[in-house]
Structure formats: structure tokens, C-alpha cells
Amino acid sequence: MSLQISVGSNEGSDAYVVGANAAQSALTNLGAPAANLAIVFASVQYDQQKVIDGVRSVTKDALLVGCSTAGEITTEGPLKKHSVSVMLMQSDAMKFYGGVGEHIKADARAAGKVAAGKVKEQAGVDLKAFMMFIDVLTGNGADIVRGVLDSLGEHFPVVGGAAGDDFQFKQTYQYLNGTVYSGAMVGLGLTGNFKIGIGVKHGWIPVGVPQKVTKSNGAVLHELDGKPAIRIYEDYFGEEEAKQLRTETLAKLAITYPLGMKFPGSDEMLIRDPITVDEHGSITCAAEIPEGSEIQLMVGSREEAVKVAAVAAQNALDQLDGSVPKGVVIFNCIARNKLFGERSGDEIDAIQNVLGRDVPLIGFYTYGEQAPLGGEVRDIKRCNPAFHNETVVICVLAE
């Protein structure tokens, strides 16, 4: 069996050229004349269609999937400039299938079900793993995951990330072959003779006392212990500081102080990112928080985040049963990038120290992650996929 994986990236002003050069760099390193699969992550700085046209001028008939990002990651670490990054795969023992579900705003769950259904229809009973690239600016990310599981089954191995737009929170893009979508979900199905390991951790630490969700509606958190939800921040920061949360984007101010929710079957609290707050003090999050849930404010620590990234990488490696990693795909929350600042490379270093510094690696900073409930994935065939925030998800492929 042969699984060959390579990564290339490029930057510049001409979107078509940057896409073509990134793909050509990956192809040169592939050690094969052509690829079966291209995974593409790109900054919204570029004309998205021109990027994809440039990549496909090199990758030709390879299945192409991917999305826009809030920052790209490669084997070299987090890239300092806006870029296009491409991972190519070629295998005589694996097959890859793509599908899209549109109109997340109208029905997020249906979009997930449709995309996964299209992949399953092509792959049949041999479908072994599923990767997803979604838009959460227009719909509930947890509902998209539910839709995927409606098609694939509740314990199917799923990983993925929510597309970004360089921290603007305006519009994101998803790619399938030669088409650029927005407000959609693209799915990738993998079949064949290969091994996969998935690591999931966040390392955020709860502070204060738990508060009960007494009123919520989907992703909108109205009341905690009968009081406006924003009070959880006002009580912690003080009312003067918290006034800013009502006038500026909550996502930018509270990104290192997310909300944590106790969740059955998870070793860690499930994180929910606050995005906006309205005049009544209701907080809109990246995914729903059910009434009756217990919520705590969470605090980020660089040291803890680096430590758990290495733990997640080791957990993914352990699932390979001794096989050597051939490629790594990382879905890493933008909050973690903001937490680390100039030291964002520390986390990727910790992962590479476990998995191998020369193993081809691609990833991006996301607006949400999809993966089994953390913190330790013990049996990938009995996992419970969920929508995460502020979490690092590491997917490792091997022969």
C-alpha cells in the first residue's frame, strides 16, 4: 500500500498565481505525478474563485475540498502572512468522496444531512471517516453536526472545522472541486485501507461558581440563574469593563473567556464561544446551550493549552496501533491563536514533537471544531461527535 501526502503554501497579491504556486509546491513534494485529493485552506484576502482556479490548474481532476480561514497552519507552523495552503494526497488503497449541503441559514441540520448523504451515497458501506468544512456565521454549528450524524449514524468518526474570514465575522467560504460556496457545508468521505487517529482537547479552566441556564433559545443564551446572561461577564470583569461588551463585538473581547458547559460523556467541559450581546443582555453563541445546563466562565492559560495539545497528539497517535503518521490535519480555534499571540507556534511545536516534525501537516484557525467529545478518544468506533469551540482537534492518517 502507498499513501503519499505533501503540503505546499504560497503568498502574494495575485490570487490565481498564489493558488497555483501553493499547489505546485505540494505536487513537487508529493513524489507522485498526480494527486487524488487536494485540501485547500485560504485567506479571504484573496478572490476565492481565483484561488481555486489556480489550485485546479495544477491538481486537475483531483477531488478538491476546503474553506476560507482565520489563519493557515502548515508543517512550518502558523503562517505569519495571509496565504493559500494545500495538502495533496495520493493513494492506491484509499478513495475520497465529496458532497455539499447548502442553505445553512434556512436549515442547518438539513444541510449537514444532505452533504453527508451525498458522500455516503457515493462511498457506500465502505465509508470509514468523514471530514467537514462548515459555515457557522449563518447557522447553528451543533445542528449541522446533528444532520451529519442523521446520515452517518450517531457514533461515526467525524472531524472538521468552521470556516473563518480573518477574524472579521462577516462571511466565510467553502470549496468543492471548482465551486466556491458560502453559507454551506462541504463534506469529505474517506474509504479504503488506512488508519486514523483523532485527538481532542482544549485546556481551558473553569472559574467562579456554576450557573444554571434558566432561559435559552438555540444558540441564544438569555438568562443564567434568572438574570440576563451578560451578568456572568459583568460580575467577573466589573460593570464598567463589561459595558464594552455591549458596544463592541463580544467575540473579540471575550475570546479568552469563553463559556464552559458540563456535558455527559466528556472528560472536559464543552466550550461555547460568545459572539454578540443584545440590549437585553442576551448572548448569542456559536452553538446552542440547552436550558438546564450548568455554565461556568472559562479562563485560558498558554501553558495548559500547550500541555493539552501534546496530550491530544499522543492520544491520536495511540489510536494508530503503532503505525507511523503519514499526514496531519489540524482544526484549531482562532481563540487559541489569540491566546498565544506571537507564541502561537509553541502549540504546533508541541504537536509536532509527538507526531514527528517532518510529517506533512496542514491546518487552519477555525470558528468552531467538530470532533468526538473530549478529552480522550478511547474508541473511534464508539465516539460521540459534537460541536466544539476553543479546542484543538488533531486528525492523523497512517497506512
Q: How far is residue 369's CA from residue 120's CA, in Å, rounded to a whole number?
A: 21
What residues have CB less than 8 Å from 364, skipping those under 6 apart?
41, 67, 69, 70, 71, 72, 73, 85, 161, 164, 330, 331, 332
Residue at grid coordinates 444558540: 219
Alpha-carbon Rg for the chain, nearest whole angstrom, is 20
Helical ranges in the chain per DSSP H: 15-30, 48-59, 108-123, 141-152, 231-237, 239-247, 250-253, 302-318, 334-340, 345-355
Q: How far is residue 58's CA from residue 259's CA, in Å, rounded to a whole number?
A: 43
Give the pLDDT of the chain (399 residues) as one tens digit per residue: 589 999 999 999 999 999 999 999 999 999 899 999 999 999 999 999 999 999 999 999 999 999 999 999 999 999 999 999 999 999 999 999 999 999 999 999 999 999 999 999 999 889 999 999 999 999 889 999 999 999 999 999 999 999 999 989 899 999 999 999 999 999 999 999 999 999 999 999 999 899 999 999 988 999 999 999 988 988 887 766 666 666 555 666 667 788 999 877 777 888 888 877 888 989 888 788 899 999 999 988 889 999 999 999 999 999 999 999 999 999 999 988 888 888 889 999 999 999 999 999 999 999 999 999 865 566 666 788 999 988 999 999 999
Cα atoms in the Cβ-side hemisphere of radius 13 Å centred on 251: 18
Q: How far is residue 10's CA from residue 28's CA, in Å, rounded to a whole number?
A: 14
DSSP state of 375: B
Q: What pTM does this model have?
A: 0.93
Per-residue cell: 247: 458596544
